[in-house]
Amino acid sequence: SLWSFLLSSSSSSPSPSSSASGSSSRGSRNPFVAARTWLRENQSSLPRIQVRVEPNTTLKLRKRFRPLFKTEVTLGADFNTQLGVWQFKSSWEDKIIGGRLMLAGRELQLSKTWLLSVGAVEDLVTRLRLRAAIDLGTGKSYARLGFRTERLSPINVVEGFTLLRQLPLDGPEGHVKLEVKANFAFPEPEIEYSSSQRTIVGMGDVEVNIDELNLLLEY
C-alpha cells in the first residue's frame, strides 16, 4: 500500500554517522521526511477504505436533435438489466435561458427555475419559478411567476454524499460512456490532547458504495 511504501522507503534510506547531525537538520526541514515521520507515527489511526460494489446496471440509449431554433430534444430509453424492463424518457430544453419545454395537450409550456441569494444571509436563497405557455390552437398565452425562500443545507460528509460521473470509453468525442454513481461517507474524527501536547486522531473507515454502473450510448 501507499503507507507501507512510504514507511519502508524512510526506514531503508542510509544515514552516515559522520553527517548525522547535518542530515537530521536537513531532514527536519524536508516536508517529505516530515510527512513520512507523521505517517509512521500515526499509521494505526489512519482510516481504511471499504469499497462495496453492488450496483444497479442500466443500458441507456439517447438521441439528441434540434427541431427548432435554440432548442434541443432528447429522446431515449433505459433498460434495467435486473428487472428486464424498458422505460422511455424524453426532454425538450431551451438553450437561450436554459428552461425546459414540454407539450401538454395543445399547450406549449416553458418552465425555468432560478436560485437567488438573499442579502447578507449566506445559507438563505430564493427559488424563483417561471412558467409560460401558449395554446397552439387559439394562440392565447399566459405566464406565472412564483418564489419561495428556503435555507440551504450543508453536505453531511459523515452520512455520505453522491457523486455522478460519465467516463468516455471511445474517446472524448465518442458515443459510448460509462456512467458511475457512487456514494462516499467519511468518518467523524476524534481528536484528543494528551499531557505531552501530542494530538491523537482516531478515525473510522471511509466507505465507498458503487450504486450504479450504466452503459450510455448517445448520438
Joined grid coordinates for residue 39: 505517517
Place of cell 482510516: 47
Joined grid coordinates for residue 80: 434495467
Joined grid coordinates for residue 113: 427555475
Amino acid identity, position 41:
E
Query: pLDDT tens across 166-193, in order?
Result: 999 988 888 999 999 999 888 776 666 6
What whole-number distance in Å separates Cα of residue 192 and Cα of residue 137? 72
Place of cell 456512467: 179
What whole-number distance in Å separates Cα of residue 58 and Cα of residue 180? 11
What whole-number distance in Å separates Cα of residue 67 and Cα of residue 93? 11
The pLDDT, as a whole number, for residue 134 is 92
pTM of the model: 0.60
Query: pLDDT tens across 66-121, in order?
Result: 877 778 888 899 999 999 999 988 888 877 777 888 877 788 888 888 888 766 66
Higher pLDDT pick, 94 / 209: 209
